[in-house]
Chain A
Amino acid sequence: MNALQEHFSAKGLGRVFLLSLLADLVIRPFGQGRASTAQQMIPAALLTTAVTLALTAPLLSMARQAVLNPAEGGVPGVQKLLRCGLLGLLTVLFAMGGGEGIVRAGGFLRYVSSDPLADGVVYVLLLAACAYAMWCGPQAQARAAGPLLCLFFASAALVIISNAGAMRAENLPAQPFDGAAVAETALNGFRFPAELALFFFFAPPAEGNLLRHYRQSLWGLCFVYIALTLTAGLVLGSQMQAQSQPVHTLARLGHLSVFRRLDALHDGVWTLAALAKAAAFASGLRQAAGLLLPQRRRRWAGGCALAALAAGTCACASLPYAAAEGILTVLTALAMGAMGMLGALYTKGGAGHGCQTA
């Protein structure tokens, strides 16, 4: 098997996907306003997850046919062009996605540290970790995702347990269900994270339980989101809406016995999750860049991918967070659409056009 076509297993891909999304959950983009209460955010999360699944799950089987397979001979020109276009789009998307992850992690570390390192040093460190992750490959990342997920869940559980003493039921009074407010909250919070395109890109072609892992990952994310939002609502009450990093605030407030502050512990674990996310994008970038390059230049795929990731980091560092998120959402939607379209063309064309599965 070509090293550039190396895939995650379905289980491993699900874990990497979930870990990347959880990193986004705890390390929020700065400047993102929150006008909703916990009573609105929880049903909105359920709604958003269901809609995301409904929109993207049907594309999954079609995306399997797509662009990783270097179709040779007899392929209609339009499919080849679409394939190159999609790979280019994915390269840009993964570079921006990885860069945004690195910039967001850097910003978070600057926010939580009393004596932060220079941004440049943090970016170099994270890029170095991504370079090493590219060298190790997707299968190593899939295996590493398991222990890192366990650490993350332990951290989330500790956040909840350490704040148990501060939870007040009066902070979260029962409210009549406001469908319009819930829908508005869902709409405001809805986005296509770049991790979706990553999942589809790495989807192993012959695994039948991929959809199950995809659903489990999204619902797992929803469950963690609900647990943390509920905790934040019970502890912070109306103050939750004013927090730029509400989960970090919870971590900051939580204490256990003589340990008055545990946030540094959680910051370390969340940094690992952010690293796993950036590393996953780096691997995707390497594969996409490698498939774009001509055969004789493919040994430069790693270097080109690292350069692209660094460029993506610089680009995201110069953009406001909201703008970077907006660009990523648009790119992801385009990439998903293109993958679906190409996959549908392959399905329609069938094996006679020389498509090879990985």
Chain B
Amino acid sequence: MQQPLTASLAKNKAALRTMFGETIDLYTKEIRLFGFPCCICLFEGLSSIERLWIMMLDILSRPPESQPPASPQALFDFVLYRTAIPLEANTVEDLDGVRRQITAGACVILVDGVSKALVISSQSMQFRSVSEPSGEGNIRGSREGFIELLRVNISLVRRLVRSGNLTVETLTVGRRTLTEAALLYDRERVSGRLLDTVRGRLQRASLPFVFDSGYLAGFVQKSRFSFFQSVGYTERPDTAAAKLCEGKLILLVNGSPFAMILPYFFTENFQSMDDYAEKAYFATLIRLFRYASFLLAVLLPGVFVSVANFTPELLPPQLMYKVASAEQATPLPLFMEALLVNFLLEIIREAGLRLPRPIGHAVSLVAALIIGDAAVSAGLLGTPLVIVSALTALCTFVVPNLYEPVIVLRILFILAGGILGPVGVAVLFFCMVLGMCEMNAFGIPYMAPAATQAKAFLRDGLLRSGWQTLAKADFTVGDLQQKVPEQEGNP
């Protein structure tokens, strides 16, 4: 039960000190406004005394034009309703509300004799400026990216979607961190069923702490295991705005620059904002390249190993001789070589990611020397396999959203192809396709609109139609929703 504020300033201050302990960044200062004792409460580093002075104290230090307040409640009402001080419209009446406001950077003013508190937005915290996102690079289009501050992120989206239908709901997640999150949607375009489903799952999510939107992914999706995710992420406000216009939901979490997109379909991994700024034929071509890259990234090493070991006749004769001679010269079986090279590539990638920037270039040097030159020259690894693995790695980077499933599936295909041959590859491919088609979060198949053969697949999935066609189609994800409602836990 929330502890209400009392009329006693001393008791309220003591309660705050009990709540926050002896933390040194909690700033409390007793002041007198028109002769009545008051107390300013804020966190240093989140709120600014200078701003507070400019916004409020300077005004209140001058004598009032009319009769000064005669009681604490009169003072409270005077400051709240009869001055031009930019206070928050809602006052706080309990300790939890005080906690919420001052940890958000606001300043709370307690008045002795009043069991409510005034809130003034005097935030002055340090945060990263809006800059180009680290991933999702584009040739054309916006260069803005989300930052860690929730309110700024909401404003970035609001600037792009200026219709009155954009709705923002806030919620608190994480039992210990009490992180603020926001659910954004267009209330005219969003499906009511989808909204209720997502809301319900978020409310049931129980986490001790939340530092990124990705923590909530496991709670908003169905609980069945899958390599792929039914939610997506973006750092770009324009992408988030585009998804809102399709009737999707955007989940922003304070402290995370990654907005979660709900729901997210397989075909969206191959779309980018550049597609819509370029000519349709070129955008279509690039999309087809992306699909091909994904298939190559997943299948190429496994198929290569399978073909080289079990069905070498599939290769052109010249290539077959080169592969055979390379395989003869190396000590390990081909599939173990493939696993080793992929393992090394992953180590190099991880090292490059975690290493401090000043010595980061050493990783590429070591990788090039050891793998690219010494291992091949020494006969430990075959050149065709290194080329295949390098091509596969490049293809993986074309579709970075699918990096995790691609890596794991690739390893499985190498094992299947190397041990079981074409049968293993075919069975695994069948299971992979089936698994992707089985995914059905939020009542909409993950493979929609592809596997459901909706017109949207050809219009803006596999291909990209011209804007004249796209503009006529008023597409929302509700169009893809299944007629039979999804049942929780239903296989």
Contact = CB atoms under 8 A, between A and B. Distances in A.
A117 B421 contact: yes
A121 B421 CA distance: 12
B430 A272 contact: yes
A268 B433 contact: no
B484 A136 contact: no
B313 interface: yes
Which of B423, B450, B487, B490: most chain A Cβ within 10 A?
A: B423
Contacts of A1: 484, 487
A98 to B, nearest CB: 15
Given A140-B437, A147-B451, A264 B426 contact: no
Nearest to A275: B430
Interface in B265-317: 307, 310-311, 313-314, 316-317
A296 B423 CA distance: 38
Nearest to B457: A146
Chain A: interface size category: 35 or more
Interface stretch (A26-34, A125-133, A217-225, A334-342): A125-133
Contacts of B310: 113-115
A125 B423 contact: yes
Contacts of B89: none
Secondary structure type dominating chain B contacts? helix
A264 B437 contact: no
B348 interface: no
B438 A147 contact: no
A186 B437 CA distance: 38
Interface in A244-279: 258-262, 264-265, 267-268, 271-272, 275-276, 279
A1 B486 CA distance: 10
Contacts of A135: 491
Given A146-B453, A147-B433, A275-B426, A264 B491 contact: no
Contacts of B491: 3, 135, 137
B483 to A, nearest CB: 9
Contacts of B228: none
A21 to B, nearest CB: 18
A143 B426 contact: no
B424 interface: yes
B425 interface: yes
B451 A146 contact: yes
A316 B403 CA distance: 43
A102 to B, nearest CB: 12
Given A129-B430, A144-B451, A260-B313, A109 B437 contact: no
A141 B427 CA distance: 14
A contacts with B: majority SS: helix
Interface in B453-475: 453
Nearest to A129: B427
A80 interface: no
Contact of B316 (A115, A117, A144, A260): A260
B452 interface: yes
A122 interface: yes
Nearest to B447: A143
Contacts of B420: 117, 121, 125
Contact of A109 (B423, B450, B484, B487): B423
Interface string B412-437: 00000000111111110111011101
A133 B434 contact: yes
A143 B445 contact: yes
Interface in B394-426: 420-426
A132 B431 CA distance: 7
Given A132-B431, A136-B438, A264-B313, A272 B426 contact: yes
A215 interface: no
B225 to A, nearest CB: 11
Given A133-B434, A141-B437, 5 more contacts: A129-B427, A132-B435, A137-B438, A146-B451, A279-B430
* In the complex, the 3 A-B pairs of residues with the closest C-beta atoms, listed nearest first: A143-B451, A140-B438, A143-B437
Interface of B: 307, 310-311, 313-314, 316-318, 420-427, 429-431, 433-435, 437-438, 440, 445, 447, 450-453, 484, 487, 490-491
7 contacts: A11-B453, A113-B311, A139-B438, A143-B447, A147-B450, A260-B317, A272-B430
